[in-house]
Amino acid sequence: MPISAFFPPTSGSPLFTNVWARITLSAAPRKVQEESVVRNTVKKNKNHLKDLSSEGQTKHTNLKHVKIAASKRKTWQPLSKSTRDHLQTMMESVIMTILSNSIKEKEEIQYHLNFLKKRFLQVCETLKVPPKKMEDLTNVSSLLNMERARDKANEEGLALLQEEIDKMVETTELMTGNIQSLKNKIKILASEVEEEEERVKQMHQINSSGVLSLPELSQKTLKAPTLQKEILALIPNQNALLRDLDILHNSSQMKSMSTFIEEAYKKLDAS
């Protein structure tokens, strides 16, 4: 297992990753020497550390080297103390997380990780970085909190949006049901109208030209007496009655009455 597996870089910054790789590769051989003297480890541990060193060198060959012009390095600045303290806090937190697990050789791993931390912080004291990179390292926690708050706000917004969508879907389904009900009613009414038209057509026997084909009147009906004749037949002395009515109609009193009534209607229409 490579050494970096015990303490993976926790920052997404390429600068942090490159520095960590350099420290890991340079510290592995020294760790073999110091640990063999101080702790007098067995041969198995020596071979294990040699394997770690060889694996680290293999990883070193896969690293991508980026050449930066000297003119750009002039604006670089050393890491501030707050940034180094922040990195140290992160490393100590990761080390404690690793050691909290029930793993074998915990003391040796703790010794090795503390040594790597010490070497890393020593390099950070003289390391110069672009101002933007340094700001990124110091603002990791605040940026993380901002992202978490943004994610929470987005989740709440999505929940509200989902509620609105559900309401809109429910309203749409209700409107669709109402539209279908209205279509059914229209279909029923159209059928009733067709039936009524057919009934009217049969009753009046309307031909294609639109002329009513009514039945002819019988000759008996045409020869029947009018209502006036029937009434006069009931009155005796019809000629004298008709003469009196004609005199009354042409009298001056009747004409005055007719004129009065006409004037009254004109005034009513004018008002």
Say whether 254 sits in a helix, a strand or coil. helix
Residue of 100 and 116 predicted with greater confidence: 116
In degrees, rounded to 5, the angle at the alpha carbon of residue 21 between the alpha carbons of residues 96 and 139 is: 65
Domain ranges across the chain: 3-138
Say whether 198 sits in a helix, a strand or coil. helix
Query: Which pLDDT band, with edges at 50, 70 and 90, does 212 fall under?
Result: low
Mean pLDDT of 49-56: 51
In degrees, rounded to 5, the angle at the alpha carbon of residue 185 between the alpha carbons of residues 184 and 189 is: 120
Q: What is the pLDDT of residues 168-209, one digit of tens each?
A: 999 999 999 999 999 999 999 999 999 988 888 777 665 555
Q: pTM for the complete prediction?
A: 0.32
Q: What is the pLDDT of residues 119-135, one digit of tens each?
A: 999 998 888 877 765 55
Sign of CA dihedral 185, 186, 191, 193: positive
